[in-house]
Structure 1
Amino acid sequence: MEHSSSGRSALGAYLDQSIAVLERTRDAFDHGLVEQAIDRIVDALGADRPLLVCGNGGSAADAEHITGELVGRFLKNRRGLKAISLVSGAATLTAWANDYSYETVFSRQVEAYGRSGGVLLGLSTSGNSPNVVAAFEMARSLGVGTIALTGEGGGKLASLSDVLLAVPSRSTPLIQQAHICLYHYICEHVEARLAGA
């Protein structure tokens, strides 16, 4: 019983930390920054331009999660939306990383799939992931809009982002938890605005 009680206390402390980060995130983005991201994604998808999404590790799983919600459905039955995860093609990723470099596995795909008027959404808790940074540089050169989901400060992605959603924390797990809330909100509102189109 003592172990169970201490487990509940540790869980409570962890959840308190999570809530604190979410509250700081709410306060940081209450002024419409997330709506700017939604507007850019809606404009791109509404014009049949792709939304490209990338990240590493847990953020790679998030990239697939986001595209799954948009290609499939979040809450509404509607047409599929042109969202492409740049982490999903194992053959492309491993061939390019093996023959050239892991640092350019996303930028190469941005070069292949990116279109002027489209959007690249990159997730990096540090904001410094070299392959995400390279993808943003490629996007900029092609006229592709850039949205970053990062941790505090935004790292190198800050100067490469049209919209920077920097969660005010330096704890990777807590940043990722806030990212899920942010992109679920984004998916819900992108879907609601495009469902009738």
Structure 2
Amino acid sequence: MNASIEAKQGFLLREEQLDIFQQAVRTVIERYKRGGRLYIAGNGGSAADAQHLAAEFVSKLARDRAPLPAEALTVDTSILTAIGNDYGYEQVFSRQIAGKMTDKDVFLGITTSGQSPNILKALETCRQMGIPSVVFAGRDGGLAKAAADYCVVASGEMTSTIQEIHIVLAHTLCECVERAVFEK
């Protein structure tokens, strides 16, 4: 438990990462104000976090409000298995991005290693389509650090600790968007 607490406290001292996170938040807010949507993807526990975050945007986090369009690219088993079978697992998110997203939207990838091949391919597709991309990563950010427009690197070495910081970031992102979009 101490390592988890120390990692969260350590993250709050990393001004560069806090600045990147604030830039990412501003981008998501701007995209929502332009009528865009948030698309989220991850693998394993990060896939569950993608679904969790999409639910917070569509339902609510901290206040009653209109729904915000968000989608986890991890939930449609027919799409996932068709793409995985026909094109390979590395393409399961990038094909969905190419088919669903527009330049009004924003992509959020979640990868504790920063090395997930399907997240990296998704980031490449975003870049080709002119879609801004955010990644929540861990350790040193991996290859995702250079591939994303905004890569927020959680402190900590253990996957569980990195994922805990990712969910704090996700909730903070949603709360910031709620305030900015629905503030009276």
TM-score between both structures, scaled by the size of structure 2: 0.95
Contact 2:103/2:131, CA 8 A, preserved across alignment: yes
Per the alignment, in what secondary structure is the counterpart of residue 155 of structure 1?
Answer: coil
- Are residue 146 (structure 1) and residue 133 (structure 2) matched? yes
Contact 1:96/1:105, CA 8 A, preserved across alignment: yes
Partner of 2:102: 115
Per the alignment, in what secondary structure is the counterpart of residue 31 of structure 2?
Answer: helix
Match of 1:25 among 1, 11, 14: 11
Contact 2:35/2:104, CA 8 A, preserved across alignment: no
Q: How many residues align?
A: 183
Partner of 1:182: 169
Structure 1 runs of 4+ off > 2 angstroms? 29-33
Q: For the structure 1 residues 147 and 47, does the alpha-carbon distance in structure 2 shift closer, same or farther, using more than 3 Å as the test?
A: same
Contact 1:110/1:138, CA 8 A, preserved across alignment: yes
Contact 1:50/1:113, CA 8 A, preserved across alignment: no
- What's the % identity of the aligned pairs? 34
Pairwise CA RMSD of aligned residues? 1.4
Contact 1:117/1:143, CA 8 A, preserved across alignment: no
Structure 2 unaligned runs (5+)?
none
TM-score between both structures, scaled by the size of structure 1: 0.89
Counterparts of 1:31 and 1:136, CA distance in 2: 21
For 2:104, give the aligned amino acid: G
- Are residue 59 (structure 1) and residue 46 (structure 2) matched? yes
Structure exhibiting the larger radius of gyration computed from Cα positions:
1
1:47 Cα offset (Å): 0.8
Partner of 1:127: 114
